[in-house]
């Protein structure tokens, strides 16, 4: 069987061939991520990139940014599930990509689940940025739109026992506090807020989370030009995510989410005092809608 290769900008992708199946892999330092266990070389690949930005500049973790009202923000983390990718042809035909569930993140180092203050230094997941995902097995043809969701659909959100794509209970909770008891966290930011005119003593460390089937949000975007998926080809789709706008209409000082029992012992979350989570549904809804609006074509 003929060996074929697919090359991506700034990504190493290798196509291995055997008599039974062909596998496309994205090689990372810490692990091997299978784009698709049964990659079909007669189909195509899309490299989908989420560029996290504030004020039209690339987001830098820990850097101070000022909003239009004069408040200052610094972010420690942005992390979310991208799921159910669908490409749409000019005719309107929608082509759903099976098993398309991906964890996108830009974050500082995190402690593994179960770590406490006494053993934290030995159990650290290093800082990670993963803003591009490879979508394999795209059928050949021309496409003019892309659709995907932020979050996890009820089929999988309501049942941790079944998996698809990157969805896995171990993936979700591999680091401390990246889990709810009965469902996936859809979207999270962590950071520090300083109101206009405030001093260091007024700074508030915050965590925002969304989840729940009602907050599953679909994003549909019209591509600036059609992409042509041909056998073995790779197309690039680049999006921008306005991180600061995910907090539009909210005041961190007024967050009233409850700090779950045990979080104070979690080195990842000990410093945070203001929360949006399952106990503040209205604020979660606002953030979910903001996230949908924040994602645009770059």
d(CA 150, CA 215): 9
Q: Band the pLDDT of 115: cuts 50, 70, 90.
A: low
Quick check: 101 pLDDT over 80? yes
Mean of the per-residue pLDDT values of the chain: 84
- The answer to which of 16-30, 54-68, 185-199, 240-254 has the lowest mean pLDDT is 16-30
d(CA 122, CA 120): 6
* Both tokens assigned to 105: 């993140």
Greater pLDDT, 190 or 25: 190
pLDDT at 173: 54
- Residue 289's region, left for phi above 0, alpha for psi from -120 to 50, else beta, is alpha
* Alpha carbon distances (Å) from 132 to 43, 142, 267, 296: 20, 22, 28, 15
Quick check: 180 pLDDT over 90? no
- The answer to which of 17-31, 104-118, 161-175 has the lowest mean pLDDT is 17-31
| Alpha helices per DSSP H over 109-224 | 154-157, 169-172
pLDDT at 174: 55
d(CA 71, CA 197): 8
- Measuring CA to CA, which residue among 3, 93, 42 is closest to residue 230? 42
Strand partners, 221: 146
* Digit-coded pLDDT (tens) for 277-287: 999 999 999 99
Instruction: Find the helix or strand (DSSP H, E) in which 294 lies.
Output: helix 281-294
Q: Band the pLDDT of 126: cuts 50, 70, 90.
A: confident
Question: Average pLDDT in the 127-134 region?
Answer: 95
Quick check: 10 pLDDT over 90? no
pLDDT at 253: 96
Question: Average pLDDT in the 143-164 region?
Answer: 95
d(CA 139, CA 142): 9
pLDDT at 155: 97
pLDDT at 125: 81
């Amino acid at each position: 069987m003929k060996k074929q290769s697919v090359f991506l900008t700034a990504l190493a992708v290798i196509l291995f061939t055997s008599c039974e199946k062909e596998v496309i892999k994205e090689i990372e330092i810490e692990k091997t991520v299978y784009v698709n266990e049964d990659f079909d070389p007669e189909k195509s690949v899309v490299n989908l990139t989420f560029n996290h930005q504030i004020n039209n500049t690339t987001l830098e973790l820990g850097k101070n940014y000022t909003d239009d009202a004069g408040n200052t923000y610094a972010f420690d983390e942005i992390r979310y599930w991208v799921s159910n990718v669908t490409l749409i042809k000019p005719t309107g035909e929608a082509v759903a990509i099976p098993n398309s569930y991906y964890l996108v993140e830009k974050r500082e180092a995190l402690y593994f689940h179960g770590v406490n203050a006494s053993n934290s230094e030995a159990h650290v997941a290093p800082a990670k940025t993963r803003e591009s995902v490879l979508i394999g097995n795209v059928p050949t043809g021309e496409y003019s739109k892309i659709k995907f969701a932020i979050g996890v659909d009820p089929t999988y959100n309501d049942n941790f026992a079944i998996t698809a794509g990157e969805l896995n209970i171990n993936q979700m909770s591999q680091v401390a506090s990246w889990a709810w008891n009965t469902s996936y966290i859809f979207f999270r930011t962590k950071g520090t807020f300083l109101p206009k005119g405030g001093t260091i003593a007024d700074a508030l460390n915050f965590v925002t989370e969304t989840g729940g089937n009602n907050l599953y949000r679909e994003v549909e975007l019209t591509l600036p030009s059609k992409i042509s998926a041909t056998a073995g080809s790779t197309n690039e789709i680049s999006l921008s995510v306005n991180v600061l706008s995910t907090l539009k209409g909210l005041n961190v000082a007024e967050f009233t989410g409850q700090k779950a029992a045990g979080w104070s012992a979690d080195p990842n979350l000990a410093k945070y005092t203001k929360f949006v989570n399952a106990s503040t549904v209205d604020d979660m809804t606002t953030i979910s809608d903001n996230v949908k609006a924040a994602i645009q074509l770059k």
